[in-house]
Structure 1
Amino acid sequence: MDSWKETYDVESLPALRQSIGDEDLSGEERRERLDVIEEWEYNIEVRESVQLAISLKSSLTTLGADSLGNGPSETLPQEG
């Protein structure tokens, strides 16, 4: 899972970003690291989005989403 640490000899995303400026890297190696950083940042965004969705779902469930118009409500009187 943490093979990138060994591959790029870094411990974190900021360290990988800093390594881009290493003068010993070829252009191809820089591009590869930039691609990895981009993918890493995308994965973080996806993870945060999923966590937010789960949190919102949990909040709606706690509030009783049915009373918000998603179905019949047990807390509001029915006319008829």
Structure 2
Amino acid sequence: MQKETLTALGLFLAKKSVNKADVARKTGLSPFRLSQLSINPKTYLRVEELYLIALAIEVSPSDLLEAVCKDVILPNSKS
């Protein structure tokens, strides 16, 4: 059995000690969807979901976006 690793969103939520059941209730997202967003790197986070999650956990959507996309770079970037 493969060990589950957290996605960038999962790490962010874990660092903030966020209760995903509470987030699901506040956002209308299913607990399964939040779980998939937190542990499955092949699950894509939609911008509306990111915004709802940020509102639910009372963080700036831009802070959450930066945390989730910290490893994204331009394909031909030299940075």
TM-based fold match above 0.5: no
Structure with bigger RCO (C-alpha 8 Å, 6+ apart): 2
**Richer in helix (by share):** 1
- When normalised by structure 1's length, the TM-score is 0.31
